[in-house]
Amino acid sequence: MKFSPEKLSIPDRRMQPFIDPGEIWSFINKTKADKVRVREIISKSLAKQRLTLEETAALVNAAGAGLTEEIKEGARELKQRVYGNRIVLFAPLYVGNKCTNNCRYCGFRASNAEAIRKTLDDGEIVKEVEALEDNGQKRLILVYGEHPSYSPQYIAHTVKLVYGVKKGNGEIRRVNINAAPLDIEGFRTVGASGIGTYQIFQETYHPDAYRQYHLGGKKRDYDWRLTALDRAQEAGIDDVGIGALFGLYDWRFEALALVRHTNHLEACYNVGPHTISFPRIKDSTSLQLDKQHELNDEDFKKMIAILRLAVPYTGLILTAREAPGVRKEALQFGVSQIDGGTKLELGSYSDTQNEAQDLNREQFKIADSRSLADVIDELLDSGYLPSFCTSCYRMGRTGEHFMEFSVPGFIKRFCTPNAILTLAEYICDYATGETAVKGWKVIEQNLDKLDPDVAGDTRIKIDKIKAGARDLYY
């Protein structure tokens, strides 16, 4: 059911800017939180209700190691209840780094003469996707600079190209996009190519700070970017991802603004964002930023735990910008998706000769350059269930429907069996002997937690996979 302002006689806020910095700062400055209040808020969240801005501010302001630990513990518990122990895996594929914008933090900015510009041609895209498939990837996010060359038609073309690449048992089953904001018609064109999520980060939600970091090009227009995902929704893309780039402005403000963005989308379109990302700034060529708003590891982990509690049903993405140790720890607090085997240099997945990172060819430097196999190995060692599931989006369980299905029982009926089936495929096609042993053990442990009829049916499907069947899902 789409939003209908006439029926409810409330103002239509679609495609209207919704961030009021004074309101957000007033929540941060005026909300006090004692132990009792913090515990009440955590309980509300554990009952799977989204938190208000005031409640999020209370968690942000909760001081002292004891309360921070309670927030983290709440987030651990909630993650377990809503997501179980699955971690969804994906990889980014940089398609082109030409850019007309001047974002001060980004190596691709137009004024950076050091950057080596490249757009993959169709043949190179196919080679990259084949290399990714050879590693076992099933879900990609395609990344583009903002440039007239990367028109909606071009983006749609590359999406279709990627879906068409099949090597051995390999195929990409979900293509997400991280690209510039489009107009409604542009979003329609890209949506029609069959994308999963359209992801756009606001970078900083604070309008004055935003102006200081975005020095040229279309991206200077804060409101155009802020309302981009409204236009995506109007164009029928109901699966959208939001994010902020941490280190540009006060993390407390950005955390509340992400919740504000979530409740804006929920109020207008009956569905919040599918995912939230919280990248921290990494080194890039000739980067000159002061470190005034740098987010340290401790506050970063607290912030992830707060977001987990604030938006119980929204996926949280943590990328290879972060070092393996930080990722491992942060996973517990509610992260549901990570990338593995990530390479940012254009064309580098298929270029096995050149393993060194060259900052002039990359948007920024990553801190976790482990292979997908190594990331999976660590997940298995830590008791997680790695998943390449793409079922909901292919079964039409997206947007509003995704929310409907995010109810007790859904995970055990759909998500866990699908994660098991995709892991079984990975083991059969790509895992080394040692990882395979660990993987089958984790599969057994997870089958044991399912209802007997679901476990029985899943075992039948696993046998089919062992016999050569692929792409079995619920």
- Calculate the alpha carbon distances from 221 to 20, 180, 214, 411 in Å: 16, 12, 9, 40
Minimum distance, C-beta of residue 150 to ligand SAM, in the bound complex (Å):
9
Instruction: Decide which of ligand SF4, ligand SAM, none touches 178; Cβ closer than 5 to 8 Å per partner kind.
Output: ligand SAM
Instruction: Kindly state whether residue 302 participates in binding ligand SF4, applying the rule CB under 6 A.
Output: no
Instruction: For Cα atoms 155, 401, 451, give the angle at the middle one, nearest 5 degrees.
Output: 115
Pairing type for strands 166-167 and 170-171 reads: antiparallel
**SS3 assignment, position 315:** strand
Instruction: Report the residue from 103, 132, 161, 421 that binds ligand SF4 according to the rule CB under 6 A.
Output: 103
Q: Is 75 exposed, middle or buried (0-12, 13-18, 19+ CB in 10 A)?
A: buried
Of the pair 16, 286, the CB lying nearest ligand SAM is at 286
**Among 200, 242, 385, 423, contact with ligand SAM (rule: CB under 6 A):** 200
Binder among 74, 96, 170, 279 for ligand SAM (CB under 6 A) = 279
x/- binding map, residues 238-267, to ligand SAM, per CB under 6 A? -------x----------------------
Q: Which is nearer to ligand SF4, 55 or 339 (CB)?
A: 339
Cβ closest to ligand SF4, residue 68 vs residue 178: 178
Q: Quick check: 145 binds ligand SAM (CB under 6 A)?
A: yes
Give yes or no for residue 284 binding ligand SF4 (CB under 6 A).
no
CB of 17 to ligand SF4, least distance (A): 20
What are the residues facing 387 on neighbouring strands? 88
Nearer to ligand SF4, 31 or 101 (CB): 101
Near ligand SAM by CB under 6 A, which window of 174-182, 290-298, 306-314, 323-331? 174-182
Both tokens assigned to 167: 């090597």
Q: Which residue has the tokens 């009926």?
A: 413
Tally of CB atoms within 10 A around 27: 22
What are the backbone angles phi and psi of residue 135, rounded to the nearest 5°? -85, -15
CA–CA separation, 333 and 308 (whole Å): 7
Give 202 or 418: the residue with its C-beta nearer to ligand SF4: 202
Contact code string over 26-45 relative to ligand SAM, x by CB under 6 A = --------------------
98: three-class secondary structure by DSSP? coil
Q: Is 228 in the site for ligand SF4 (CB under 6 A)?
A: no
DSSP 281: P
What does DSSP assign to residue 214? B
Q: Residue 356 is encoded by which pair of tokens?
A: 């060194």
Query: Which residue, 107 or 340, is less far from ligand SF4 as judged by CB?
Result: 107
Q: What is the DSSP string of 382-442?
A: TT-EEE---HHHHTT--HHHHHHH-STTHIIIIIHHHHHHHHHHHHHHH--HHHHHHHHHH
Per-position x/- string for 341-370, each x denoting binding to ligand SF4 as judged by CB under 6 A, each - no binding: ------------------------------
**HSE of 387, CA atoms in CB hemisphere, 13 A:** 24
Shortest distance (Å) from residue 380 CB to ligand SAM: 28
Q: Which of residues 38-97 bind ligand SAM (CB under 6 A)?
A: none
Binding residue for ligand SAM (CB under 6 A) from 70, 146, 234, 368?
146
Short-list 114, 111, 112, 109, CA closest to 145: 109
Single residue of 109, 173, 274, 301 touching ligand SF4 by CB under 6 A: 109
Q: Which residues bind ligand SF4 (CB under 6 A)?
A: 99, 101, 103, 106, 108-109, 145-146, 219
> Site residues (CB under 6 A) for ligand SAM?
105-106, 143, 145-146, 178-180, 200-201, 203, 245, 279, 281-282, 284, 321, 363-364
